[in-house]
Each structure stands twice: as structure tokens, then as C-alpha cells.
Structure 1
Amino acid sequence: MPPKTVTLETVAELAGVSIKTVSRVVNKEPNVSARTSDKVQAAITELKFRPNMAARQLRGQRSYSLALVYEPPSSEFLTGILEGILPVCRENSYTLLLEPLAASESREHINMVIERRLIDGFILLPPLSEDRDLIRSVLKAGLKVVLVESALETQDQNLSVSKVGIDDFAAGVEMGEHLLRLGHKRIGYVSLREQHNMANQRGEGLKTAMKAAGLPKENFLYARGQSSFESGYEGGKVLLENDTPPTAIFAGNDYMAAGVISCARDMGLNVPEDLSVAGFDGADLSKMFVPPFTTIQQPLQVYGEWAAKNLLKAIVNPNATPITKILDHKLFNRSSVRDLSE
């Protein structure tokens, strides 16, 4: 039966290693062999040892807290990211602060968090992951940051940080080729917010696929969106009121695709009989909507897990080489797109 009070010394004695080695394993520091680490972890499990967070903070001059900073996106996007981050934080005895930050909002609170070193590192979601000023503020304070879905060339402008995402341009090309194979030759695109350069590569991919198919540039129609259901509705209306409307509309995310479908219905059109619609993100909404719509899925949970793990690595080893990780996406073909090639 384990003693009532379990200390680093207790764990070290059971594992047959030094107290310093136990401390290194607990703090996820490098230069500990896998065999030694396994022995220490086994002792920790047997003794039900829980690190003293106050002591860890005092010894390591760390807060053992991370911050996720985001401009309020769809709830599904944020939830997917959190499902990846939170298990990593729990496994490493870190807490996670959620810091919503709208584009028009003052940065005073975030700057205070940075200046007071209330956290050890930041994970930035789009479009804040493309905010150079915010990233520089974090790095200037000596803190670490990992970017999710960012178009920034992170080796330039002293932004030497890691980032994770998909190839949005390639995903846009794939969606374009899919629609073209199904006989669509006049296609509209509803963009996301202007600040989200990475995501809007999806529209550039569509345009490139249409050009490669030999279609005239006027066959690509464009409407600016703001990532929301309402902006998808308005963007769909702009495209459908064109003198020669598109036969298919590709929306930059699933919430805007749902808005396009609702707009089409209000205009007396049926999906997919009169208009085909596709989205992006792979949100549950895409398969629950009527009709379920074609979409490209981003691996949101993997984004969160990868970002959290690599942020912790950077905190422990400040000289680690930054990594750019490109993950796979997947196209789901559903009943919102009509085959005109038959």
C-alpha cells in the first residue's frame, strides 16, 4: 500500500534512480533514456504520485499553463481542436487557458498575459495564426508559440516557429476537379474572412483547377464571406442573382455552405437538382444538414494534439528546430452535388 505522502524521493527509491532523474521525467525534459523513463513512470503509477505544481513552478520558473488564443470560430472547429489539446495537457500536468480575441478587440489583456508570463506558450488559431504583430509580441517576451492553419512563412521576418495545417490550395484543387468531373463548368466560391489567407487558398485551388480544365476565367464566380452561416447566405444570394448563375457553389467552410443551401431554398431552388453545393471542414453539420453536403475534412483533433505536443517540446528545448507539419485532408462526396456529366 503506497504511503500517504509520496515525494520525488519515494519515487526515486522505488525506481532505483536519482531524484534529479525523476524530476527530469516528471518535467518531460530530454536526455533520459526510454528504459529509465519507463522505470520512473512505472513507479509513479504504482505510488499514485502527483507532482506538486507549486514546487514545479518555483524550481522551473514555469507556469505550467498554455494559452489557446482564437477569434471565435464555429463551435465545432474549436471543440475539435480542444479534443486534441486537452489530453496532452492532462498527460503533462499542464492547465489550458482559453483566450477569445476578436479582430476588432483590444489586445491589452493578451499583452498583459504575455508581459506577466502567466503562461509558458501559446497556440494560435486562424486567423490570429497569421497576425505577425501578435506572434512577435509572444516571441519578444521569450515565450513559445505554435500556429494552426497559417499562411505565414515562419522562417521569415524572425518568426521562427512551428506550424501545423493542411495544404488548403491542394484541397481546393481537389474539390474543383471533383466538381469538374461531375460536369460543372460554371462554379462559384464564397470566401472566408479576408484576414484568413491560408483558408482562402481553397478558392485559389478551385480557380486553378478550372483554368487547367480550359475554362474561361469568367466561369469562376466569387463572393466574399465572413465564415458565418449568415455570410454564406448573403454570398449565395450574390452568386445566384448573377445573370448567368453557377451550377455549383463551393463555400470556404461548412457553415457558409449551409447558408448557401438555405438561400437557394428561399429563392425557390432545390439542392442538388437546381444547384450543387459543397463546403469545407468536415463539421458534423455537413452530414446532419438536409441534404447532407459534400465537404473536405480537416483533421482538427490532430491539429490540437500536434500543436500541444510540439509547443511543450519547444518549451523544454528552446533551441529545437521549428517544424512545418502538413496533414492529410479527405473529401467526402455526399448528395448535395448533382452529376451533370451523364
Structure 2
Amino acid sequence: MILVTGGAGFIGSNFVLQWHASTTEPVLNLDALTYAGNMENLRSLADSSRHVFVHGDITDATLLERLFAEHRPRAVVHFAAESHVDRSIHGPEAFVHTNVNGTFRLLEAARAYWNDLAAEEQQAFRFLHVSTDEVYGTLGPADPAFTETTPYAPNSPYSASKAASDHLVRAYHHTYGLPTLTTNCSNNYGPYHFPEKLIPLMIVNALAGKPLPVYGDGQQIRDWLYVKDHCSAIRRVLEAGRTGETYNVGGWNEKANIDIVHTVCALLDELAPAPARHVQHSVTGKPLQRYAELITHVADRPGHDRRYAIDARKIERELGWKPAETFETGIRKTVRWYLANQDWVANVQNGSYRDWIQRQYEEPRE
């Protein structure tokens, strides 16, 4: 059995679903079910004896000790994290609590469990920590992409909390010998993505005729990685990665945010034309001809990093992994998924989510 933390969130649930479909090994799934954790993502596993779900917090040391003792996992895959930059600007404490304190508690529980294993089991055990490219800071237009040895320079409370957790994982390997692995990924997109992030927000708002908020000039550049490719990379690192090592996982797809928005609009024009759906602009009340009419530039967020780019040659060279999807194939699959799963979207858009969107994008900034 493997222990997955945050396995009801966006990347975590995709990983659990992929794992369940590809192996017979059971998963112990620990998730606190905060706003982004959603059991509907895992509905297809409701009757599976190979998926054991526990509702709990990774900061709960007593719970962690019990789970390790009862289920005796051979590996930990640690997704659980607060992950939205904008939310970290409004409320950084939750990010320190989960991303720093939670990772510390999980490392402590894993270390105590690992210390008591037989030598052969100790050698086979792995602790895989899933992190982000944002820990490396920002890049200029001509700067080389982030490598595994790029110095850390986090610029938001979110990325600072993830950087701290990365350092803790590294320290537990070097100090205690815990067999850790770290992956730093670029921007993920795909099914089950909570609709506060760029791509799902654009899809959901467009279909509702709502403005498509784009920060500043929209020229912020990110590397985009289809979530199922990311999950396959994590499986490969867990299987064959060298302990104590870091592996950058990227999609080789640098795109400006405004170009992403135009791509989504063009796909929606093709797959769900506004005139055919009688979509009206929620502000003007006028019928839409093209979804791009909804694009609205808003004030940039504080400290917005200009560019991220991942050099993913190490994982390809050492482990033979590279993404299966291009951005063009992955974004088409993503838009199709959201069009086919609008009930899922409606169910996650509860009152707290609507309040967040209003505060972030509609209220004037000071």
C-alpha cells in the first residue's frame, strides 16, 4: 500500500485515479477536504476495496502515527498543500500551517515509522514530496529555464511555504537518511481543476457569459503541463528516482497567459458556440458572438512573477520520462472534459468559492 496525502485535490485525485487504473496496489488516501478537496473526484472508486479514504489533517501527529502503524505503507506521495498564490496573499497563515507545519509532521511520522522497519523494508521505502517551480522565483525573457540546481528565490507566501517544505524534505534525507524524493512541477491543467485557477476559470466564466479576468497585460509566461503527464512522471520518479534527488517536471510549453485565454476562447467557439447556446454578456446583456469578447484586463496582483520555465532534461535523461501530450492536445481534452462535466463544476461552486471570486476579481484594489 502507498499513502497519498491530498488525494482528493486536483493533482492528487488524478494521481489516485491513474494509480488505481494502472496497478493493483491499494492506496490510503488522507485528505482534509478543504475547499479544493472534493470527494466527487473519486466517486468512481466509492466501492473499491483498493482505495481507503481517511478524512484528516496532515498536521495531526496522532492520526499520522496511527495510520502508519495500521496500514504500513511502503511509500508516501505527498500532495497535500495550500496552493493558490492569490489566496496566500490574502491569508498566508493557512499556507504556513499546511505546507510547512504539515510537511514537518508528516516527515516526523514517516521517520519514526521508517526507523522501526526491517532493513530490507527501510531500503525499499520512499517519501516523495510534490512541489512547484515557483520556489525558484521569476525569470527574465531571455533567462535559461529552471534546473534542479537553480537557487531558491520564492516571491509569494505560497512559494515561500513550499520552499520551506522542500528544505525540510532535503534536511530529513541528509540528516536522518530518510529516503526522500522531490519533484518540482510547472503549471498543471486538466480534469478536476478547481475553477479559481486560470484555465478552468476561463472556461466556467465564458460559458456563463461572465468577464474573463486577465491580470495586467496578460504577458506573464508559464510552462504548462497536462495533469495526467505529471502523474505519470511522479509514478516514474517513485519507481526509479535516486533518493535524495530532485526532479523538475515540465511540459515544454511556455505560453503567455493572454495566449492561453485566447486558445480557450477559440476552442469554446468551436465546441460550444456562444450563439448556439444563446450566451449573453452578464454585464451588458448583449448576445455573444465570440467568447473573446468577455476578456477583461484587471489590476495585476502584488509581486506577480513574470515568467517560469522548466528544464525537464534530467528526468528524461535519467528516468526516460517525457510528456505524452502537447499543449494543443491537452487543452482540447481539458475543454472537452469541462463541457462534459458541468454538473461537477456546479457542485464545487459553493458560496465560499463565489465570495472568493468576487473579492479577488471584482472588488477594487487599494
So what's the TM-score if we normalise by structure 1?
0.36
So what's the TM-score if we normalise by structure 2?
0.34
Bigger proportion of residues as helix:
2
Which entry has the higher C-alpha Rg, 1 or 2?
A: 1
